[in-house]
Amino acid sequence: MIALYPGSFDPITRGHLDIIERGCRLFDQVVVVVFQNSSKKPLFPVTQRLDQIRRSTTHLPNLEVDSFDGLTVTYAQIRQATVLLRGLRAISDFEFELQMAHTNKTLATDLETVFLATSTEYSFLSSSVVKEIARFGGPIDHLVPPAVVLDIRKCYAKNPIGSALTAEDSVRLTPEAPPTGCRPMPPGSAG
């Protein structure tokens, strides 16, 4: 059974990773699908988000990472996926997620949305929270996979409001490190 895990992942957090790992235990194959999401101004371009997810999930053999510009149900049909995996953090997620699940059901009756409840330690965590902390130089190591920490610090190091690189980061900022095409936004506009 193939399950899609669609989202913006701007950037992937430890909360996303927890859902991905649990999904990989439940389904034969999980495909993380990065969508542009026209209603949000992304920090990272899609190519960089794909790279971040791939570098964070090398331990999961039944995981694939892809991007798509279109309807989730269209991608599901192309991949013959029968499950849409989504995470639920709080009541605030529920209304939107239920609406999406019902909408998708009207578009593809054989596609089932499966919700995984967040692990309690990540119930507060969102990509927006990470960006807000990073913008002001706070610690994010406990919130995102290691593969993402350096990208975010590099991004905000270019920004006057952004975080200072630690001495350790400066050493790790080698030419092999992936280029960052991020677009930091002004305070208070985290997407």
Binding-site ranges for ligand ADP (CB under 6 A): 7-9, 13, 15-16, 19, 37, 86-87, 89, 93, 118, 122, 125-127
Known binding positions for ATP: 8-9, 16, 87-89, 97, 122-128
- The SS3 of residue 155 is helix
Considering beta carbons, is residue 14 or 135 the nearer one to ligand ADP? 14
DSSP alpha helix (H) spans, 108-178: 127-135, 146-157, 167-172
Known binding positions for substrate: 8, 40, 72, 86
Considering beta carbons, is residue 77 or 128 the nearer one to ligand ADP? 128
* Tally of CB atoms within 10 A around 143: 23
Q: Write down the least CB distance from residue 159 to ligand ADP, Å.
A: 22
Taking the C-alpha atoms of residue 53 and residue 21, their distance in angstroms, rounded to an integer, is 12
Catalytic residues: 16, 40, 89, 127
Q: Write down the least CB distance from residue 91 to ligand ADP, Å.
A: 12
CA distances, 76 to each of 15, 71, 79, 84, 168 (Å): 23, 9, 5, 8, 42
Q: Write down the least CB distance from residue 163 to ligand ADP, Å.
A: 21
